[in-house]
A and B are shown apart, each in its own frame.
Chain A
Amino acid sequence: MSEEINPEMFELLIRLAALELQVEEAEYLRRQLNSQLKVIHELASIPLEDDTCITSHGVPYTPESSPQIRQDINIAYPSPSDIIQQSPDQQDGYIVVPDIPHIDLN
Chain B
Amino acid sequence: MELCDLTAHQIATLVKLQEVSAVEVLESTIKRINLVDGSPGSLDGVNDATQSENIHSFITPTFEQARIQAQIIDEKIRKGEDPGLLAGVPFTVKDIFCVRGTPSTAGSHILANFISPYTATPVDHMMAAGGVMLGKVNLDEFTYGSSNESSAFQPSPRNPWNLSHVPGGSSGGSAAAVAAGEGALSLGTDTAGSIRQPAAFCGVVGVKPTYGRVSRYGLIAFGSSLDCPGPLARNITDAALMMQVISGADPHDATAATTDVPNYLSTVERNIRGMRIGLSPDFLQITYPDPIQGELRKEPINPEIEAALLRVAGRLAELGADIVEEIPMPHTYYGIPAYFVISRVEAASNLHRYDGVKYGFRTPDITSDLHEMYRKSRAQGFGLQPKLRILMGMYVSAAQYSEQYYNRALRIRTLIRKDYEAIFDPQGSYRLDALLAPTTPTTAFPIGDIYGDSVLMQYADQLTVTANHAGVPGVAFPAGFDSKGLPIGAQVLGPDFSEARLLQIGRAYEKVTADEFWRDRKPPILERISWSGME
Residues of A within 8 A of B (CB): 1-2, 5, 9-10, 13-14, 16-21, 25, 28-29, 32-33, 35-36, 38-44, 46, 48, 52-59, 61, 64-67, 69-70, 79, 82-83, 86-89, 95, 97-101
Question: Chain A contacts of B348 at CB under 8 A?
Answer: 17
What are 26 A-B contacts with C-beta separation under 8 Å?
A2-B401, A14-B391, A18-B355, A19-B378, A20-B376, A25-B384, A32-B455, A36-B454, A39-B337, A44-B404, A46-B412, A46-B415, A48-B412, A55-B414, A59-B212, A59-B471, A59-B496, A65-B212, A65-B257, A67-B254, A70-B251, A87-B357, A88-B360, A89-B362, A95-B357, A99-B369
> Is A39 touching B391 in the complex (CB atoms < 8 A)?
no
Q: From the candidates B212, B375, B384, name the one contacting A20 in the complex (CB within 8 A).
A: B375
Interface segment among B153-161, B392-400, B435-443, B508-516: the answer is: B392-400
Judged by a CB distance under 8 angstroms, whether B174 is at the interface is: no
Q: A39-B289, A58-B472, A98-B369 given as contacts; is B395 within 8 A of A87 (CB)?
A: no
> Is B379 touching A20 in the complex (CB atoms < 8 A)?
yes
Q: A17-B348, A65-B257 given as contacts; is B455 within 8 A of A35 (CB)?
A: yes
Q: A29-B384, A54-B411 given as contacts; is B257 within 8 A of A61 (CB)?
A: yes
- 4 extra interface residue pairs, beta carbon distance < 8 Å, beyond A36-B340, A52-B414: A21-B379, A40-B396, A42-B334, A98-B367
Distance in angstroms between the alpha carbons of A5 and B392 in the assembled complex: 10
Q: A43-B334, A86-B359 given as contacts; is B251 within 8 A of A13 (CB)?
A: no
Residues of B within 8 A of A (CB): 114-115, 117, 210-212, 225-226, 249-251, 254-259, 289, 294-296, 331, 333-334, 336-338, 340-341, 348, 352, 355-362, 367-376, 378-379, 382, 384, 387-388, 390-392, 394-396, 401, 404-405, 407-415, 417, 453-455, 458, 468-472, 496
Question: Chain A contacts of B468 at CB under 8 A?
Answer: 58
Question: Chain A contacts of B360 at CB under 8 A?
Answer: 86, 88
Chain A residue nearest in CB terms to B390: A17
Distance in angstroms between the alpha carbons of A2 and B211 in the assembled complex: 33
Question: Chain B contacts of A40 at CB under 8 A?
Answer: 337, 340-341, 396, 405, 409
Distance in angstroms between the alpha carbons of A33 and B341 in the assembled complex: 11
Question: Chain A contacts of B355 at CB under 8 A?
Answer: 18
Distance in angstroms between the alpha carbons of A95 and B362 in the assembled complex: 12
Question: Chain A contacts of B331 at CB under 8 A?
Answer: 46
Question: Chain A contacts of B289 at CB under 8 A?
Answer: 35, 38-39
Distance in angstroms between the alpha carbons of A72 and B400 in the assembled complex: 36
Q: A18-B375, A59-B212 given as contacts; is B455 within 8 A of A36 (CB)?
A: yes
> Is B410 touching A100 in the complex (CB atoms < 8 A)?
no
> Is A39 touching B471 in the complex (CB atoms < 8 A)?
no
Distance in angstroms between the alpha carbons of A100 and B367 in the assembled complex: 11
Question: Chain B contacts of A56 at CB under 8 A?
Answer: 225, 410
> Is B391 touching A53 in the complex (CB atoms < 8 A)?
no
> Is A87 touching B369 in the complex (CB atoms < 8 A)?
no
Closest Cβ of chain A to B185, distance in Å, is: 25
Closest Cβ of chain A to B216, distance in Å, is: 12
Q: A40-B341, A54-B411 given as contacts; is B384 within 8 A of A18 (CB)?
A: no
Q: From the candidates B114, B115, B417, B496, name the one contacting A55 in the complex (CB within 8 A).
A: B417
